[in-house]
Amino acid sequence: MWDRRVLERMEVLVGSFSVSVRWQGVGDGFSWACSGVYGPIDNNARGLMWDELVGVQQYWNVPWCCIGDFNIVRFPSERLGNSRLTPAMELFSEFVEDLNLIDLHLEGGSYTWSRGLVRPSMSRIDRVLESQGWEE
């Protein structure tokens, strides 16, 4: 249950790949935003997701975090047994770098998703990205 004295204003944006919320505090007027993401598996649709998230960040232009299942790794080391950097990985890294996002370190393991027991498939497809002012 929300305490209405804490929040002065809250806005929600619902996209094809994300749900984003911006809050503004009553006492200090500080605004911040967060987007929950579920990324597409299709490489062609990922470009639409990057565009959507750039639009959210630019629309509010406040400290922002982006969390969820991106369904893509950034580096070959984030997928068990992978040694090849793909164009999709490069585009993900460009998205992170272009928006000056901080890719938070994963604690407790190397992967966030797995399937299979005999020859397991494992990767880090879930992550938290934050803007420079988020932690402040």
Beta strands per DSSP E along the chain: 7-14, 18-25, 31-38, 64-69, 102-103, 113-115, 121-123, 126-130
Q: What is the mean pLDDT of residues 74-96?
A: 93
Q: Mean pLDDT over all residues of the chain? A: 88
Q: What is the mean pLDDT of residues 60-78?
A: 94
| Residue 109, pLDDT above cutoff 50 | yes
> Hey, what CATH topology would domain 7-130 get?
Deoxyribonuclease I; Chain A (3.60.10)
Q: Whole-angstrom Cα distance, residue 21 to residue 37?
A: 12
Whether the Cβ atoms of residue 68 and residue 36 lie closer than 8 Å to each other: yes
Q: Whole-angstrom Cα distance, residue 53 to residue 45?
A: 13
| Residue 1, pLDDT above cutoff 70 | no
| Residue 46, pLDDT above cutoff 60 | yes
| Residue 6, pLDDT above cutoff 90 | no
pTM listed for this prediction = 0.85
